Amino acid sequence: MTLAKFVVLLAFLLPLAGWTLHLGRGLWLARQLAPYGAEFQYRHGDIVSITFGRGSHSFGDPQVALLTSFGELQTLDLDGTAVTDAGLEVVDQLPQLDRLTVRVDQIAPERERRLRTTAKHLIIEKILIIDGRRVLHEYAQ
4 vs 122, more confident:
122
Q: Quote the domain boundaries for residue 43.
A: 3-140
What does pLDDT average to over the chain? 78
pLDDT in tens, 102-131: 888 888 888 888 887 776 678 887 777 766
Bridge partners (DSSP) of residue 38 are 52
Contacts of the segment 63-66: beta carbons below 8 A, 24+ positions apart: 63/36, 64/88, 64/90, 65/90, 66/29, 66/32, 66/33
Total domains, the chain: 1
- pTM passes above 0.85: no
